[in-house]
Structures are given as C-alpha cells and as structure tokens.
Amino acid sequence: MKLIVADDSRLVRGIVVKAVASIGFEAVPAANGREALNILEAGDENINLVLLDWNMPVMNGIDVIKSMRADDRFKKIPVLMVSTESEDDRINEAISAGAQNYLTKPFTADQLIDAIHQVLGRK
C-alpha cells in the first residue's frame, strides 16, 4: 500500500513515514497540497490513500480534496485529514469536502494507524 503524506512540517512528514512503514505502507512525502496533486497527476505512483494537513502553503488540504473529488482519476482515493484545526465546523467542512476521516494533531502513532485502518476499511 502506498500513500501520500502532505504536510508542510518536515517533522510531521517524518513521523508519519516511520509510523506507516511499521505497518508495511510506503509513504510519498509532499511539502504542500500542490506537490501532492503533482504526485497524483504524474501517475507514476499507485496511491491508495492521501493524508493531508489542512494549513499548508501554496495549496491547502481542503483545496486538494476539492480538486481530487472533481477529477475522475482521483475522486475515489480515500483522504485522511490530519490537522491542528479541531473545531467541529472545520472537521465537518473537511468531511463535507470529501475526507473520509479526520485526525487532530497532536496524535500518537497508534491513533494514526487506527485512523488509516478506518479509512481503508480494515478495522
């Protein structure tokens, strides 16, 4: 399984890469939403999941979700939003835009893995 981890924090990207490697997933890092879409559009990777931060430079997570849901090639790829935005209206906005799940930072590796399994229907 392969996922994109889009977060402007190199530290968060590194934590996610390590956590998902522990369950046999490969993570393709992206520093912002535009990089995540570029990876998808290049078509070189077989992406099974996109993990997005909300607040990123260049293109935020919500705009990435909207772009993915508007494109037949990507609209069925599951999205897990991971953000410090913890207000109910923000969580609802992400779900309404097309995220399958929402995880609030800070999180543990176990919480991340559980959220990924939920999105992929494995738990």
Q: How many residues does the chain have?
A: 123
Residue 7 has pLDDT above 60, yes or no: yes
Residue 123 has pLDDT above 60, yes or no: no
45 and 28 Cβ atoms separated by less than 8 Å: yes
* Neighbouring-strand partners of residue 27: 3
Q: How confident is the model at residue 120 (pLDDT cuts 50, 70, 90)?
A: very high
Summary mean pLDDT of the chain: 94
Residue 60 has pLDDT above 70, yes or no: yes
SS3 70: coil
pLDDT tens digits for range 16-56: 999 999 999 999 999 999 999 999 999 877 999 999 999 99
- Determine how β-strand 79-83 pairs with β-strand 101-104: parallel
The residue-averaged pLDDT of 106-119 equals: 95
What pLDDT sits at residue 85?
84
Distance CA 17, CA 65 (A): 21
Q: What is the pTM of this model?
A: 0.93
Topology of the domain comprising 2-115: Rossmann fold (3.40.50)
The domain spans of the chain are: 2-115
Q: What ranges in the chain are assigned the alpha helix state H?
A: 10-21, 33-42, 61-69, 88-97, 109-119
36 and 13 Cβ atoms separated by less than 8 Å: no
What pLDDT sits at residue 44?
78
37 and 66 Cβ atoms separated by less than 8 Å: no
